Structure 1
């Protein structure tokens, strides 16, 4: 059987694959940048198993090029790059890697809040570019996290990890999610969508990209937010209508934003986001720690290994397909 890995992974995982399953034929993308669509389709032709990155679309076109494909394991918690209907129709198993990137992404969420509120990027730029002439009582004034109201949209694993950190900073937390929450900690309250937008000093997004969350943040929702508020997005770029966000930031309807994800990645060179001084931009590094990327690769592989051993993969996205694979 042939296993195709579409991105660079920790060599320790490759070593484990070769050790545990020497019968597998391995093809791994080790070049700089991401694999091209053309190369991906070419590699898929004789693939039985695939470990994919979030940059690769697994859709009808790919599945038509991959007649032997039995399982695809996404090295990401999100799976909006998967066409689940097409996978189900083709009877191809699919998995993701939840849990393992929770702490890293929660840490980066808090870092973005600090970067924006404390104006850390502007302060460092001034120092590096020799514009800082010495301490002044009103130099680089920002705002504290302490005492601020953090509005969290969604309440999955990452959101819950952010709540713990926010409480440690002395913040008040309000949450919007459609399911009813019970036994929330002190200083944490579930509120309506309107209440969250209107009451938050910081709105942090922690929802998957679905038809329901596409452009969840738009002209209308931004108009409900406080002009002193900031927006943080470490989920998926298309949850935010970037044109609406740019307009709000330019006109002072929103004080700032911290973004790790974008509607189009990499961020286009002509994006107006690059020009705005009240935005902090990061290149999709929410899970970019040595510990987390190793854990993600291991989990993606262990899903494959479970299948090879005749066991149900722990992170199966289409459980209804499993009886057909036993």
Structure 2
């Protein structure tokens, strides 16, 4: 059997071991494959039984041109880069990794929130620049600081990651409300399910935890931003395309909302012309919530288990069965 890894660098910049795949047969690893070069993708998949992909698009044309392909292992949770319905018509199993990063993403959600509310980096820089010494007093701050106790956190979506975020929020003595497209059981009676209008109106912090679908495209826009508090903090560790970038930049620049902290972008890497790069009070990180070493090792282990299950006719995490 031949396994081809099309964009391995994202998962493994050198601190993981691809040899774990050798048990299955021939393994070819490409650090990166151009997303927009269909001919190159097809060339690299020649003879492949299993493709490992993260963001490389696997379209119906590529599937048709890859007759040996039997399975596609997504090295992530999201699989919108793969035409899963067409793969099903060709009896190609598409497998993802749904729960590997729950704790890491929840942790990073709060890292973003604390970056906004506690301003550690900003004040560390000021101390090193001598501003504390110049101030001549025992305590010095150059920006407003915020206590999280009593603040209302609104979670859009209430899957595993959002639930993990809620647990951390309760430990900070925050109020937690959430919106979900269907009723959800809660693990603590202090957590309340509300409609979106209520969530926008009542939340001090709004954190996005929903997958990208056509229906959810840019659902954070001028209209929904206008329903939020002017002191609101928006956090996104989900998908960049959930937000209309121009509308968010305008809301930040006008003071319609106070802050945004985003680990994902509409285009990744973020484009030089993104209005968010120059927007006021906009914290940006390069899609790293999922990226601790322990988390990526867990992801790779689950990918291996997915392939093993497929080969034993006991498939796991198949999204197009």
**TM-score relative to the length of structure 1:** 0.90
Tell me the alpha carbon deviations over residues 61-111 of structure 1, each in whole angstroms, 9 at most, x when there is no partner: 321231211100101111121222222232211011011110001100011
More divergent stretch after superposition (119-128 vs 281-290): 119-128
Superposition deviation, residue 186 in structure 1: 3.5
Matches within 5 A, 1:3-152: 3-6=3-6, 7-8=8-9, 9=12, 13-18=17-22, 20-21=23-24, 24-30=25-31, 34-37=32-35, 38=37, 39-53=40-54, 55-129=55-129, 133-134=134-135, 139-152=142-155
Unaligned runs of 5+ in 2: none
Tell me the alpha carbon deviations over residues 145-167 of structure 1, each in whole angstroms, 9 at most, x when there is no partner: 22110000001110111011111
Counterpart position of 1:169: 172
Helix, strand or coil at the partner of 1:212: helix
Counterpart position of 1:203: 206
1:314 aligns with 2:316: yes
Question: What do you get for the CA RMSD once the two structures are aligned?
Answer: 1.8
Cα gap change, 1:198 to 1:306, in 2 (>3 Å): same
Counterpart position of 1:324: none
**Contact kept in structure 1, 2:210 and 2:238, CA below 8 Å:** yes
User: Which whole-Å CA distance do the structure 2 matches of 1:124 and 1:29 have between them?
Assistant: 39
User: Which whole-Å CA distance do the structure 1 matches of 2:125 and 2:241 have between them?
Assistant: 29
User: Which whole-Å CA distance do the structure 1 matches of 2:123 and 2:80 have between them?
Assistant: 37
Counterpart position of 2:195: 192
Cα gap change, 1:126 to 1:269, in 2 (>3 Å): farther
**TM-score relative to the length of structure 2:** 0.91
Counterpart position of 1:323: none
Superposition deviation, residue 127 in structure 1: 4.0
User: Which whole-Å CA distance do the structure 2 matches of 1:301 and 1:57 have between them?
Assistant: 21
**Contact kept in structure 2, 1:49 and 1:72, CA below 8 Å:** yes
More divergent stretch after superposition (123-132 vs 287-296): 123-132
User: Which whole-Å CA distance do the structure 2 matches of 1:76 and 1:87 have between them?
Assistant: 18
Cα gap change, 1:64 to 1:188, in 2 (>3 Å): same
Aligned residue pairs: how many?
311
